[in-house]
Amino acid sequence: MKIIAFNGSPRKEWNTATLLKKALEGASSQGAKTELIHLYDLNYKGCISCFACKEKGGKSYGRCVVRDDLKPIFKKIEAADALIFGSPIYLGNITGEMQSFLERLVFLYLTYTDPPESLFPKKITAGFIYTMGLTEELMNEFGYQQRFAGIDRFLTRIFGSSQMLLSFDTYQFKDYSKVAAPRFNPEEKLKRRQEVFPKDCQEAFVMGAGFVKNHSKKFY
């Protein structure tokens, strides 16, 4: 079994990347092969709305014709058995890199039928890990759940099933004394980093392990 994780954060060693690595560790513990791809290392843009992937009878139907760093990634995705996406929340949304990636990936397989269907060649499991500096209370107040639910619906529509993991009130800076961020209490942030974030890491580990276990059940 192969599981691929996509890091939508520009940071390769911080909250989002850490949780994705833990999820892949969980998958590896059950015998899966894993790969972590950092989206910020790739050269691509969002959908250019050429509609080549939607042309009737066209040789590019269900295929993206744009030649950039995502072309080989799409091939890897079709060979994968599970996908895990991860992004911090910037200005109330996933990062621009992740948004552009999902535009290209989801639209590629989404049909304009009624109801919409998926051209993805098989049913797999998808997961999304969100990290944010906000508390859970503020997240609910700002209505982020609706945005997450929208992404969840698209992933379920395309791949067959989806689940999410939310990590709140994350430790954003290595040294809070060097940044202008008086709204945050560094001591409370550090305490949560030490006491709560390890639990988030364990949840991510369980998510990755669960993907492999559930996949195995389909064949036995």
CB 143 within 8 A of CB 149: no
Nearest in space to 72 (alpha carbons), one of 37, 120, 34, 102? 37
Distance CA 43, CA 70 (A): 8
Identify the H or E element spanning 93: strand 93-94
Token readout for 186 is 């560094």
pLDDT at 211: 93
**Helix (H, G, I), strand (E, B), or coil: what is residue 43?**
coil
Residue that has been written with the tokens 């992937």 in this structure: 53
Nearest in space to 149 (alpha carbons), one of 162, 138, 160? 162
Q: pLDDT of 120-150, one tens digit each?
A: 999 999 999 999 999 899 999 999 999 999 9
pLDDT at 213: 80
> What is the domain-level CATH number for residue 67?
3.40.50.360
| Cα separations in angstroms, 166 against 29, 106, 163, 170 | 22, 22, 10, 10
Structural domain harbouring 207: 2-217
Could you list the mean pLDDT of each consecutive 10-residue stretch along the chain, which spans 220 residues?
A: 96 96 95 96 95 87 92 95 96 95 94 90 95 92 92 94 94 88 88 93 95 67
Distance CA 172, CA 183 (A): 13
> What total number of domains does the chain contain?
1
pLDDT at 215: 67
